[in-house]
Structure 1
């Protein structure tokens, strides 16, 4: 009787893991397709790739797409339990951390762009030119590379050389060789998000003041910008919570292994995948010009597919 119950339990557990794996793969494929469609729309009109806010939007789309691909590679590796050497995991870890920061830093830059557009409209064309935007995008990627550079420098300086030749399942926990590594990494990450949160908060306050003083069409436009900044703040909050997930999961692991797996699965869907679905909602659907171009591209795609089917 006990053996039969054990077999049933193992089958149920295996089915649960497979079910969750399939859900993750479907979500990743769906959001990657949406992002690719939006990226194609961005490059379809010169107005989009010469306008600051759309250029920043494209950066978040590309960053989120790369992050989804990299995190899904790690999911596949863990699902099939494929161990790799430490240095190979580092190669995956570096772009994963960089793109983890590219999106929130770009969100902060987008907030500042809205601040300039609403609070300093006469200087917006000068400060937010195409050339300046390209320079800012380069700076964003440079700033995003600093945390991983610091963390890996400390890791290589403090860890034994033999550690880097070991074969393990590639997870972010591999890089916490000593307990203080995790605290140091979190301190660096939190410092970044503190600066970004303060920037978005004060931009929001400044835009609120302008919104109260505005009138007519200007007031409507200002409040729309305010809602966009609020959505950026919410998206940044989800990215911030993502950094605390390893601590939460470690606490759950001390309680129960199954609870740890359930919490880790929930955290991955809520704080890894979900924040990367908000950019299409904020700009892809709420922006009238972009949404109009998106609808034309979708209609053209369906028309082209229908012609191909009829010709065959």
Structure 2
């Protein structure tokens, strides 16, 4: 009888420790990310010259999008970890924003790659849609396209008929809203399609940029900067597209006899949280102009902090 009572207690203690470790891993990353986002957005708001360049406008849009994505995803993560239950009607908006912004990030990075391609190949004849005063049209198109998949996903979903969407408390998870195998297959197909389209787009733009930079051998500085931009955009997009491998990683990790919640956390931390944390840092701190303003801002903040008496 003693062994029977000790086993559930040990299991509960192990689960509680696992929850604490997961939360302690996610929260510091999230707080540092928000601080970096706040500093960069403050720079954009304080120095209007950045908003006269399409590249910086797209980067600012990426910062806002990733901030929304992580705000909603971390909130959903904490709600699940705390076993907080509420009506599905309040869960769907959070899931919708999280899914739409998740889909939007690689599209933004691919658009930023296209913007570099246009700037290098057509430096004197930039198309009207890529000018700073018209770039909002592309941004709006990206956002609308990103909302298409969650709208379709939640529209054709078939939640449990015994659950009242306005009253019955449930954990806010995708499986609760729609656990149909057909929906999982559709989700995997969308991931593969997006991965393929973005990869082909990257390959096309990068090859064209590399071919164009070879014609500029007389300007070694411009060639080096273009090569570095191409390389760093490739790293950013590679990090972001790792999130599309979630169905594959779930299948592979299942063979390691992990718990389902541990698999979900591993995928979230490695393929959603870290790439979106590194992507703006790689782009922001690499940029010479932004790096200078960030350094000045941090120095100004450190001077305002008074030492303890």
TM surpasses 0.5: yes
1:269 matched to 2:269? The reply is yes
Per-residue CA deviation, residues 139-191 of structure 1 (Å, 9 max, x unaligned), is: 11111111112222222xx5565555253211122243321111112223332
Change (3 A) 1:246 1:81: farther
**171-180 or 77-86: which moved more?**
171-180
Question: Which is richer in helix?
Answer: 1
Where has structure 1 moved over 6 Å in runs of 4 or more? none
Aligned residue number for residue 287 of structure 1: 287
Query: TM-score scaled to structure 1, two decimals?
Result: 0.86
Per-residue CA deviation, residues 101-136 of structure 1 (Å, 9 max, x unaligned), is: 221111111001100111221223855322121221
Distance in 2 separating the partners of 1:164 and 1:136: 39
Change (3 A) 1:235 1:297: same
Query: TM-score scaled to structure 2, two decimals?
Result: 0.87
Aligned residue number for residue 73 of structure 2: 71
Change (3 A) 1:188 1:175: farther
Distance in 1 separating the partners of 2:140 and 2:118: 20
Distance in 2 separating the partners of 1:173 and 1:213: 53
Aligned residue number for residue 220 of structure 1: 221
Distance in 2 separating the partners of 1:69 and 1:239: 17
Asked if the contact 2:216–2:222 (Cα under 8 Å) also holds between the matched residues in 1, the reply is: no
Per-residue CA deviation, residues 34-85 of structure 1 (Å, 9 max, x unaligned), is: 1111111121211112211111111111111111111111111111111222
Distance in 2 separating the partners of 1:167 and 1:252: 31
Distance in 1 separating the partners of 2:7 and 2:76: 32
Change (3 A) 1:125 1:41: farther
Aligned residue number for residue 206 of structure 1: 208
Change (3 A) 1:255 1:290: closer
Aligned residue number for residue 86 of structure 2: 84
How far the C-alpha of 1:12 sits from its partner, in A, is 4.3
Asked if the contact 1:108–1:196 (Cα under 8 Å) also holds between the matched residues in 2, the reply is: yes
How far the C-alpha of 1:241 sits from its partner, in A, is 3.0
1:131 matched to 2:133? The reply is yes
* 1:49 aligned to which of 48, 51, 55: 51
Change (3 A) 1:84 1:255: farther
Query: How many pairs does the alignment contain?
Result: 305
Asked if the contact 2:50–2:56 (Cα under 8 Å) also holds between the matched residues in 1, the reply is: yes
Question: Which ranges in structure 1 are unaligned for 5 or more consecutive residues?
Answer: none
